[in-house]
Chains A and B, each alone.
Chain A
């Protein structure tokens, strides 16, 4: 069976409202756009007609007058596989959606890798949205850096200074302090030779968590200062990095990994070497998600409040759009969740 959409839309039009209220098109338009030059009688007649007909003003017409779309974009410049595979994104989206549910804003999520960054950029700059939230692990992608010149933008995590000149709005956690806290805990538990599985070095969580480890190594005067291997935040890359560390033949009694997935991957490599967690090697992750929670043994980790992070980003952006005073940088606290891997 084949059919087409009716040529005549059944949506109520401005003209229908005008006819119902017995006023001109331009009077209805003035009411819709909140013009003060309308008498109270006319205002209530037009509003009654709008309600009766269930009329929705066309956004193109309205936003030409008010320059507002009431749409907020959440841009994730990652692949769909990454977005669905890493619980960090799910938590952020949940937080953003929770906050916006009680506002006038509609949330548009854009997974920008498959959708072609140039089209996404055009969309964002073309007057479709009032502001954008940008959430990525990666800072290697520069396509969104200059958006801030035309649009209120809030980042998850510190964007790299080189891209933004340090004037960006962001909400993040103190990755350096979080990682230092993990190592304080391991030292308290008597561990002496602590290695690190760091994340990619083109993004602040990768850089800052490694810096936290470096600061702790110096502070405690640990002997091995080069027990560093890198992964890409996936469990497989954590296992590979751990294999490389173990193959060095240097004693290691603890590992901090830059996220839970890599920490759980490290378990696999530790077991392959006939070693146990935590007796031979203690492991601490970062994030606090179901990978760590369901691991055997359950993973000690640095909790980052991802849902709250999403909600706070949305709050900062809404305030920016509405020209309310707001802090440029918001840092949320991390906390250490001690389970059985340390």
Chain B
């Protein structure tokens, strides 16, 4: 099963030129007379020759591969609807370019393995989805490799960190204000994990909206980005024995878990507790009742990080931060 694939030598022989002429046609056709380019390309087509990347990238320093880093915890990767809607956006944008997309599974135990892979010429750039992950390890790589982050990673102030994000503070402020405008006066929140900027920003937005309305903002619980964690946080909130009539959940998945617990404990949504959240994924849509929530355009988000990375690799000027618009979706949970 070893290499029967056509070689540079075979192309050279068929076209009746030297090895180095074939190499120049592959790497720098402008330096070769058009007639020679035509005959070499005909030989390449006839033999089905694919230039070896190792040889080509030594000449051009380009691999034409873009990596998208995904977490080693593949169960989480496949369960989080964020990934399944961002990736088609990335893939569709790149399909019209010269780049191949490789989803690179990060190694948690050996971060150096992934770092080595990224820095040793395998890829021209990398995309990191920092939406639900704490990616300290990758931000420092951005000095050596073109990288674009979806979400705001730690170290985001570094001008080498290029990001596409939503205005998390503004989105949370809007979702919280919506509860106040619908007559809710005692509000609680379940935030995301506070080692993540998106969670911190959403909590900040909640505080701002309540400060503006001069309402109490002490009913705060935290959860990982999962429905199970949302359920546990809701138990803790209710166990405090303080009645509340509105909840802002930092994600639809957290809200779904919280709603289960409200039901178990005899409270109805929205009659007893009105709920708003962020994300319009299947959790928001399948919730009972369906959630009033802030939609982020995740597929467009994917296309935008890809577009930005391609521009960055090409050496074009690129904005440090791109903010994607969000939309309030009104349903039956308020």
* B72 adjacent to A108 (CB under 8 Å): no
* A119 adjacent to B146 (CB under 8 Å): no
* A109 adjacent to B102 (CB under 8 Å): yes
Q: Number of A residues whose C-beta is below 8 Å from B?
A: 58
Known A-B contacts A1-B319, A84-B84, A109-B105; the reply to A114 vs B51 at CB < 8 A is no
Known A-B contacts A59-B121, A93-B74, A101-B72; the reply to A115 vs B95 at CB < 8 A is yes
* A111 adjacent to B121 (CB under 8 Å): no
Which A residue sits closest to B104, measured CB to CB? A108
* A110 adjacent to B50 (CB under 8 Å): no
On chain A, the residues within 8 Å of B104 by CB distance are 106-109
- The size class of the interface chain B forms with chain A is 35 or more
Which B residue sits closest to A97, measured CB to CB? B105
Which B residue sits closest to A149, measured CB to CB? B4
Known A-B contacts A90-B74, A150-B5; the reply to A126 vs B52 at CB < 8 A is yes
* B75 adjacent to A94 (CB under 8 Å): yes
* B53 adjacent to A1 (CB under 8 Å): no
Question: Which residues of chain A from 151 to 200 have a CB within 8 Å of any chain B CB?
Answer: 152, 167
Distance between Cα atoms of A81 and B144 in the complex (Å)? 34
Distance between Cα atoms of A9 and B56 in the complex (Å)? 21
* B315 adjacent to A106 (CB under 8 Å): no
Distance between Cα atoms of A152 and B2 in the complex (Å)? 8
* Interface membership of A226, Cβ < 8 A: no
Known A-B contacts A97-B74, A128-B53, A149-B1; the reply to A5 vs B312 at CB < 8 A is yes
On chain A, the residues within 8 Å of B109 by CB distance are 101-102
* Interface membership of A201, Cβ < 8 A: no
* B103 adjacent to A60 (CB under 8 Å): no
* Interface membership of B100, Cβ < 8 A: yes
Distance between Cα atoms of A89 and B84 in the complex (Å)? 13
* Interface membership of B120, Cβ < 8 A: yes
Question: Which residues of chain B from 87 to 119 have a CB within 8 Å of any chain A CB?
Answer: 87-88, 91-92, 94-95, 100-105, 107-110, 113-117, 119
* A115 adjacent to B144 (CB under 8 Å): no
Which B residue sits closest to A106, measured CB to CB? B117
Which A residue sits closest to B5, measured CB to CB? A150
- In the complex, per-residue mask of B48-81: 1 if CB is within 8 Å of any chain A CB, else 0: 0011111111100101010100101011011100
Distance between Cα atoms of A206 and B312 in the complex (Å)? 45
On chain A, the residues within 8 Å of B244 by CB distance are none
Distance between Cα atoms of A93 and B130 in the complex (Å)? 21
On chain B, the residues within 8 Å of A120 by CB distance are 100
Interface contacts beyond A114-B88, A126-B53, A127-B55: sample of 6 additional A-B pairs, CB < 8 Å, sorted by A:
A5-B315, A58-B120, A60-B54, A60-B63, A90-B75, A148-B1
Q: List, sorted by A's number, 8 A–B pairs whose CB atoms are closer than 8 Å.
A: A1-B319, A2-B318, A6-B143, A56-B116, A62-B120, A108-B105, A116-B95, A128-B63
